[in-house]
Amino acid sequence: MFQKIYSRLVSYFFYQRLNRYLYAPTTYIEDLLLYAQTQPIEVHQLHENTWSSYQNTYLADFYHYCNTTQYWIKHKLATHTSKAYIAQVPQGRIWTDWGGNTAVIDQKNVLLGELSFQYDDNIGWIGVKENKILANKPIPFLQKYKGTVFSCVFGGGSNYNYFQWLFDTLQRLHLLAQSPYNNAIDWYYVPNYELPFQQATLTALGIAPKKIISAKANRHIQADNIICTYINRPTGHIPRWQIDFLAQWAKKLTKQTNRVGEEALQRIFISRTAAGTRVIANEQAFYSLLKKYNFKIVVLEQLDWLAQIALFRCAKIVIGQHGAGLANIVFCEQATHLIELYHELVINPNFASIAYQKGIEHIAVQCPLVAVSADLPTYQQAMEVPLAVLEEILSNLFYG
């Protein structure tokens, strides 16, 4: 027992000292490619950038439309894919604060910026030299693993957020499946493994629980080989390959499990009552309008993950506040309409980008803020749905 404690203390102080000399020379993926040429690091490109001519304008256009009109229909968004890489780092280690910072470090103590993640809630994306591991503060004890670890850890969004889990965590497993390392993985390092959707999706991908390492409990790890990925996905830009992967996977799963959504639920409203934030202030009047047009109110937290897929695959009209649950539109078929209720301070084009690329008609309805709690940040306060605007939209869809 004493020997084990002694060994842990020696290891702990050794890595605290080592981090004082941590070096962060790289900023862009091109730097990593050059660095890898002189190190035992392998890098494979899996997707090339094919940004359309709208790449620099459509995000600004989206904000312009949302700020000057209460709703818009059939707005043209970019069709694009994103450059993606997978890399093998021998004797690499990973540190995460389980929030906005993750650091991938090679055996020479070099912080590999492109494979790491740095984000500040007050500033946004920050440079690799501002990664919190460089602050020389105490870091968690290093847990060593024999064999090869594949890392899905990248920032803190996927810890609890369903959208981030689908479009950040699972996408990395998709890249792994296309790489030379797919059959060489002994462990999977994931942000969290507590929530039902996290367990369900990893099980569906055939990953055994005994092979999973949760970053929540293990913030600092090292392995004989670390396999990690780089995906260039700016806010609002959802690469087409990510959409296609999830849609095709869902189609395969529903066929295998014979899960079919109820025909009566072709018109659905996705409620955020379970989330408790960004709720609808004029709820009763809003629900009366939904009832008039035969909409079913759905709380996704009450459904298992496969049931959610089946529900969205059969839906024809989806209404919902902006939030992670709308990530399920990636499972919708064409000829679907998405009416997204926007908080006037939460304008994010992620779902519009997905809808456009899937051939789904996206309609944004901007809703005024209604402050209901001093404990909530402004962007999480309630919203008031403009019922006259929504009724005009529904009337045009059904009778226009």
Q: Which domain holds residue 257?
A: 243-399
Task: Clarify whether residues 255 and 364 are in a common domain.
Answer: yes
Residue 66 covered by a domain: no
| pLDDT higher than threshold 80 for residue 138 | no
Task: Tell which phi-psi region holds residue 236, choosing left (phi > 0), alpha (psi between -120 and 50) or beta.
Answer: left
Identity of the amino acid at 336: T
Structure tokens at 199: 């367990």
Work out the percent of the chain whose per-residue pLDDT is above 70: 79
Distance CA 369, CA 392 (A): 21
DSSP 183: T
In a domain, 360, yes or no: yes
Say if residue 281 is in the same domain as residue 185.
Answer: no
Q: Indicate if 149 and 193 belong to the same structural domain.
A: yes
Detail the DSSP E strand segments found in the chain: 42-47, 71-73, 84-90, 93-96, 101-105, 117-120, 124-125, 143-151, 187-190, 212-214, 220-231, 267-270, 296-298, 317-321, 337-343, 361-367, 369-370, 382-383
**Looking at the structure, do residues 212 and 355 belong to the same domain, yes or no?**
no
Whether residue 98 sits in one domain with residue 19: yes
Residue 63 placed within a domain = no
Q: Single out the residue in 231, 263, 294 at which a domain terminates.
A: 231
Cα angle, residue 182 at apex, residues 178 and 183 outer, rounded to 5°: 145
- Of 131 and 210, more confident: 210
CATH value at residue 267: 3.40.50
4-44 confidence digits (pLDDT tens): 554 455 455 545 545 555 655 555 566 777 778 778 888 88
Choose the most confident range, by mean pLDDT, from 56-60, 128-132, 232-236, 363-367: 363-367
Does any domain span residue 70?
no
* Structural domain count of the chain: 2
Is the model's pLDDT at 149 over the cut of 50?
yes
d(CA 6, CA 4): 5
Report the C-alpha gap between 187 and 213 in whole angstroms.
7
Under 8 Å between Cβ of 73 and 361: yes
165 lies in the same domain as 249: no
253 shares a domain with 158: no
Tell me the whole-structure pTM to 2 decimals.
0.85
DSSP-derived 3-state class of residue 119: strand
Distances (CA, A) of 141 to 16, 135, 137, 210, 242: 9, 17, 13, 21, 35
Torsion of CA 188, 192, 197, 201, to 10 degrees: -10
Q: Indicate whether 57 belongs to any domain.
A: no
| Structure token digits, residue 56 | 């620099």
Q: Pick 376 or 390 by higher pLDDT.
A: 390
**78 lies in some domain:** no
Q: How far apart, in whole angstroms, are the C-alpha atoms of residue 342 and residue 327? A: 15
d(Cα 335, Cα 135) in Å, to the nearest integer? 51
Q: Same domain for 101 and 209? A: yes
Judge if 173 and 209 occupy the same domain.
yes
Reduced 3-state DSSP string for 346-385: CCCCHHHHHHHHHCCEEEEEEECEECCCCCCCHHHCEECC
- In this structure, is the dihedral angle defined by the CA atoms of residues 140, 144, 145 and 148, taken in order, positive or negative? positive
Cβ atoms of residues 347 and 369 within 8 Å: no
pLDDT-derived band of residue 309, with 50, 70 and 90 as boundaries? very high
Report the range of poorest mean pLDDT among 102-106, 154-158, 390-394.
Answer: 154-158
Please tell me the distance from the alpha carbon of residue 224 to that of residue 232, in angstroms, as a whole number: 27
* Residue finishing a domain among 197, 231, 265: 231
The answer to whether residues 172 and 308 belong to one domain is no
Considering only CA atoms, which of 249, 247, 266 is closest in space to residue 257? 249
Helix (H) or strand (E) holding 215: none
pLDDT score of 93: 95
The SS3 call for residue 59 is: helix
Burial category of 398 from C-beta neighbours within 10 Å (exposed 0-12, middle 13-18, buried 19 and up)? exposed
Look at strands 93-96 and 101-105 and give their pairing: antiparallel
Biggest alpha carbon–alpha carbon distance for the chain: 78
Report pLDDT for 53. Answer: 38
CB 343 within 8 A of CB 383: yes
pLDDT digits (tens, 9 = 90+) for 176-225: 999 999 999 999 999 999 999 999 999 999 999 999 999 999 999 999 99
Residue 222 shares a structural domain with residue 292: no
Could you tell me how far CA 118 lies from the centroid of its own chain?
A: 15
What does DSSP say about strands 267-270 and 187-190: parallel, antiparallel, or unpaired? unpaired
Q: Report the chain's terminal Cα–Cα distance, integer Å.
A: 76
226, 109: one domain: yes
Last residue of a domain, one of 198, 231, 264: 231
Q: What is the DSSP letter of 69?
A: -
